[in-house]
Structure 1
């Protein structure tokens, strides 16, 4: 097709050949973003802790986090329109902030992404167990079921782009329709409270030393976990038809639609809980499951578990999809050990070696599940690490914009003068939220956890940064980049 040839020519201007199969429509990219952010996985990441720290008023933390991350998603949309290249944040920071900084941001991004795949597989395995058994789940069984998630995600990805598209489309139907339909039913027929409950903490501030403000800020840190993954759309730019237009639109549409579903489900669950005070005290460990099964009846238990499982599998598949592309983009630029192998493209025009390598790494991460405290550390970093990436990208974009190194008007997604205001507001939001998520809180650590769990995000991020800096200093990967006369590489930094 003519536009495919034009897209390949566009890619050549950045110094790359068209190796991946360019068959993804705007809808397929939307499906990838939807499955990665995942309203079901997102709501389960925040609802229980939200009640504990802010009571029914936790809804407002979800709303604020949505607005803050919408600013970030808009900056990402501008960048993806300007640079329609697989690699996303690595490519953007490399070109606007310099190759050394690009490598460091890409390195931490890869680590966070692998941790998120491990986290989704680990959490999803509990639901897989619930589908077949009511018995307690042992640590060994937990890890093995997590391996099943990663194996399925890898297997579907290795079949090629088309099977991934079909599965994610089915996932949208199952997850999106079911979530919205169940939420509407709960609001219409299983509502036990009025709108006023959304302004009631029900004493949840006791978990934060009696301070309502402290409890809400903690809840806001947790709410940020629900809005991760919209950048997955940028990793398939070289497989997308007309990416300068399709990718930013799919990014924003998937984010807004997921956010709408998350907020609708949050309100429905809060209104439907017969005893929300039990969720605040922790007696109700799973408010969503309780609200749904009480509202719909006992028959809905297994069907609801199936819907949640579909969401977790779709999320794992989509994460595996974009991680494989991120590693491929890194390896194609000879930025990693064994780059020649990791950059290989198979007969189905997919980076099968990178996909396999990341699945193995995520599987090894599941071994931390043998120790509950170690698993909690991984989950904390898997959520918090991305906010440091968001902040780095937003800052680099802002400085490049102000310094004249980036002209957003060259992309098809243009915000004009509003782009600068949005970029500044995104940086302010991310400075607050990154510190808020990383802030050491004993109340967010496991009851039997050590200081390592309390400082998990800071410790893991610092360790990765030290390793990354050492690798840059010793291996000098930035010197292996091929010169690209059509793209200005910033050599400062």
Structure 2
């Protein structure tokens, strides 16, 4: 039997699984999905206001490349892991393999929480920019703005993305390949438009030294509270790259292709995103006007561009964000499928089913879309039309995903030289790379559960529920429930990844 398997199937069988999903993704397609989920046409546009209001230009001109380097180190540590363990479970499977059932259980749930949140946040951002795009060509549409309408568009976008995901795994690979070139050509087009169309540009001094604090916190807290909150832009945009791991069971030459796809998606996005943000900052015509507009990047486009070019920039971004939504839903559904395959999610028997025709976990796709719609319901409320809930969801995505990354990164460091390396490795550099990655994740996880404004602090006189960053409530509350579930029940039956292939076959590979 083993002689009939190719190298990818043999490695998967050695890890305990038979090939159920179609392995029709190339190494480029694997890179493409992570690059699409990172999506500089999404994060750089939708969370620009967070960095503008919390730090200003320096949060982007200096903050972006510095934080991106730390994230690249995290990517290198994870690339080594996916090379050794190329399974759909990805992050959770690594933790269970190296740290046991409890490590796998909590890592899996953190990863799932993060993926559900990032899918919801990207789809909501896409809905917001679709609404903005239409408002540039219809005065009536602009006058009728409402959070309810944006939420309805958000639901439609989730439904469309789910339909495309269910239809065909092969179609998804094609869409993600198209998405890469859309992001490259689209970002380049936006940069060129902002370079050549505006009549005037800001100085280097403004772009690289200007500080802005619209957070409501005192200026004395700028360096240690306000500016770090602005780093949510970078940390949120460059995330979701674990998709390369979740799609590894569908990737040819996964031990190398998935590892390279993961770190390269980070590196290329970091460069492209920085150039894009610099183009935004140089195109600012009236900084005070941007602040009055809530720090929204669309205000810059309205200041600097004629209506036609303004529409074009928004259209490019909106399409990129839709591609990103599709990719996020793909990644989250594969994680749901893998985690359910091992019985860790209520309703696992249904969520782990694969459509016999399309070879896609359709039930898992629907599950991700429905949960995304539910957790974004607070976005129906906002302050002056700005839903703080959106930034809360992005915080949940960052905290959930990066804490899930932290656990296997730490476990790999703890294993030391006993770790069985795959085809792609960091060599001895893992000793310092993993420690830096752990420290960075620990620090940002603390910052992103803090209130975004004084009004989000329950002890402040200006407190309002609309201002609350509910990231700690959602993530912390879920973890408390999971801890109760684990100690009262799950630890008795959850033993980690379940093999779907005969143990004799696994032993044959080990011999």
**TM-score, with length taken from structure 1:** 0.89
Separation of aligned partners in 2, 1:125 and 1:205: 25
Which residue in 2 is equivalent to 1:314? 323
Q: How does 1:92-491 map to 2 (within 5 A)?
A: 92-132=94-134, 133-187=141-195, 190=198, 192-202=201-211, 204=213, 207-211=216-220, 212-214=222-224, 215-279=226-290, 282-285=291-294, 288-346=297-355, 347-372=357-382, 376-377=388-389, 379-404=391-416, 407=419, 410-443=421-454, 445=456, 450=464, 453-454=467-468, 456-476=470-490, 477-479=493-495, 482=498
- Cα 1:203/1:368, change in 2 over 3 Å: closer
Task: Kindly state the Cα deviation for residue 185 of structure 1 after the two structures are TM-superposed.
Answer: 4.2
Out of 37, 48, 72, the position equivalent to 1:70 is 72
Contact 1:385/1:461 (8 A) holds in 2:
no
- Cα 1:297/1:406, change in 2 over 3 Å: farther
Task: Kindly state the Cα deviation for residue 287 of structure 1 after the two structures are TM-superposed.
Answer: 5.1
Contact 1:108/1:385 (8 A) holds in 2:
no
Deviations 1:22-61 (A, max 9, x none): 0000111121111111102111243222222222222211
Contact 1:94/1:102 (8 A) holds in 2:
yes
Range moving further from structure 2, 364-373 or 317-326: 364-373
- Report the number of matched residues: 483
Task: Kindly state the Cα deviation for residue 308 of structure 1 after the two structures are TM-superposed.
Answer: 1.7
Contact 2:129/2:317 (8 A) holds in 1:
yes
Which residue in 2 is equivalent to 1:35? 36
Contact 2:165/2:326 (8 A) holds in 1:
yes
Task: Kindly state the Cα deviation for residue 371 of structure 1 after the two structures are TM-superposed.
Answer: 3.0
Contact 1:384/1:457 (8 A) holds in 2:
yes
Contact 2:114/2:399 (8 A) holds in 1:
no
- Cα 1:471/1:18, change in 2 over 3 Å: same
- Cα 1:3/1:291, change in 2 over 3 Å: farther
Contact 2:217/2:453 (8 A) holds in 1:
no
Structure 2 gaps, min length 5: 135-140
Deviations 1:40-96 (A, max 9, x none): 211124322222222222221112221111111111111111100001111111111
Contact 2:101/2:496 (8 A) holds in 1:
no
Contact 2:193/2:309 (8 A) holds in 1:
no
Secondary structure of the structure 1 residue equivalent to 2:20 = coil
Contact 1:113/1:382 (8 A) holds in 2:
no
- Cα 1:393/1:406, change in 2 over 3 Å: farther
Range moving further from structure 2, 471-480 or 139-148: 471-480
Separation of aligned partners in 2, 1:4 and 1:254: 30
Secondary structure of the structure 2 residue equivalent to 1:330 = helix
Separation of aligned partners in 2, 1:176 and 1:449: 43
CA RMSD of aligned residues (A): 2.8
Which residue in 2 is equivalent to 1:491? none
Task: Kindly state the Cα deviation for residue 155 of structure 1 after the two structures are TM-superposed.
Answer: 0.7
Task: Kindly state the Cα deviation for residue 397 of structure 1 after the two structures are TM-superposed.
Answer: 2.8
Secondary structure of the structure 1 residue equivalent to 2:19 = coil
- Cα 1:305/1:377, change in 2 over 3 Å: closer
Deviations 1:135-169 (A, max 9, x none): 33333322221111111111111111121122223
Which residue in 1 is equivalent to 2:24? 23
Structure 1 gaps, min length 5: 488-493
Separation of aligned partners in 2, 1:116 and 1:472: 25
Task: Kindly state the Cα deviation for residue 266 of structure 1 after the two structures are TM-superposed.
Answer: 0.8
Range moving further from structure 2, 32-41 or 332-341: 332-341
Q: Aligned pair 1:53/2:38, yes or no?
A: no
Contact 2:40/2:273 (8 A) holds in 1:
yes
Contact 2:393/2:471 (8 A) holds in 1:
yes
Which residue in 1 is equivalent to 2:137? none
Separation of aligned partners in 2, 1:23 and 1:239: 6
- Cα 1:406/1:294, change in 2 over 3 Å: farther
**TM-score, with length taken from structure 2:** 0.86
Deviations 1:357-390 (A, max 9, x none): 2222223334333333896346414434433542
Contact 2:388/2:466 (8 A) holds in 1:
no
Task: Kindly state the Cα deviation for residue 134 of structure 1 after the two structures are TM-superposed.
Answer: 1.8
